[in-house]
Amino acid sequence: MRLVRYGESGSEKPGLIDDENILRDLSEEIDDLAGEALSRATLDKLRAINPKALAKADPSHRIGPCVGRVGNFIAVGLNYADHAKESGMEIPSEPILFNKAPSSIVGPHDDVIVPKGSDRLDWEVEIAIVIGEEALYVSEDQALDHVAGFCLCNDVSERTFQAQRGGQWMKGKSAPTFGPLGPWLVTPDELGDPQAVDLWLDVNGERMQTGSTATMIFGVKTLVSYISQFMRLMPGDVITTGTPPGVGMGMKPERYLKPGDIITLGGKGLGEQRQTVKAYEA
C-alpha cells in the first residue's frame, strides 16, 4: 500500500493511493496515520479493503508528512562509504546516531525555510524507516516485523550549525522545515527489498545526488536492531538512514542552497518531493 496524509498542516486526513494513482479517503477507517494505526493488525485490515469502495478525495489537496505524531525522529550519519569520504571522515565501525526534532517535519512539497543565521544550507536525500510495532532488544531477523513502512526524507542540514557551533549534530538538523517526509508511507510488501532502492536529488534541475540503498554501510535490519538496543522504538518513530554522496558540503568549491532554489528528489517506489527554498520571515 501507498498511504498518505492530506489536507492543511495540522489537520491532515489519512488516505491511500490506489493502483490507478487516485487519492482515496481513509478517515472512516482510521483517525490518522499515526501510533497504533501503524500496527500490523491495522495495516492488514486496511490492506483487505477494496480501494474502490473508499471515497475519492480531491487530488488538489496538500500532501502532508506521511506519518503523524512522530515521537522520535532519529537519523544515521555517514551511512554510505562514499559520503563519508566526501565529508573527510572515517567509515564508522558502528552506526552514528543523532536526533532531528520532530518539529522539523513537514510535507514533501512544503517550502524549506532558511533559518536565522544560516550560511551553509545543504540537502540530503534518504530513505526513512517508520516503526509500526514497539521494538526493544530485537534481533536483525526480527527487525522488519517492527517496520510499518518506508518513505522518502530530505535530511535538510545547516552545516555551520552542525559542525562549528559545538555540541551535537542536531543543532544543524532540527530547524523548522528540515524534515520533509513522504509523499507516501510505502508498506514493505509494496516496496520490496529496501536495500535495492535507487535515490536521486536535483537542485534547480541539476543532478546532485545519485545512489542506491544497496551501498549503505548498515542496512535497514541492522539499524532497527541496533537502535533498539539503546531505546524502545515506538509506533510512529522515524529513522532516516543516511545519504549517498553529492551533498553541497562535499563539493569543491562547496555549494549551498539559497532562497529561490528548487529541490527535487525521489526514490524508486517512494515517490518524489519538491521544495522551494525561502528566506525566513519573522
Give the tens place of pLDDT for each residue, 108-141: 999 999 999 999 999 999 999 999 999 999 999 9
When pLDDT is cut at 50, 70 and 90, the band that residue 165 belongs to is confident
Q: Is the dihedral of CA 106, 10, 191, 22 positive or negative?
A: negative
> Domains of the chain, with CATH numbers?
67-279 (3.90.850.10)
Question: Is pLDDT of 89 > 80?
Answer: no
Decide: pTM greater than 0.85.
yes
Mean pLDDT value across residues 231-241: 98
Task: State the pLDDT at residue 226.
Answer: 98
> Among the residues of the chain, which ranges form H helices?
40-47, 81-86, 140-143, 159-164, 188-191, 220-227
Could you give the angle at the alpha carbon of 63 between the alpha carbons of 183 and 27, nearest 5°? 105
Grid cell listed for 271: 515517490
Task: State the pLDDT at residue 168.
Answer: 81
Q: What is the dihedral of CA 220, 224, 226, 227, to 10 degrees?
A: 130
Task: State the pLDDT at residue 251.
Answer: 93
Question: Is pLDDT of 90 > 90?
Answer: no
Question: Is pLDDT of 195 > 80?
Answer: yes
Question: Is pLDDT of 71 > 80?
Answer: yes
Mean pLDDT value across residues 54-63: 96
Residue 98 pairs in a beta bridge with 75
Question: Is pLDDT of 87 > 90?
Answer: no
Other CB atoms within a 10 A radius of the CB of residue 34 amount to 18
Could you tell me if residue 246 is left (phi over 0), alpha (psi between -120 and 50 degrees) or otherwise beta?
left
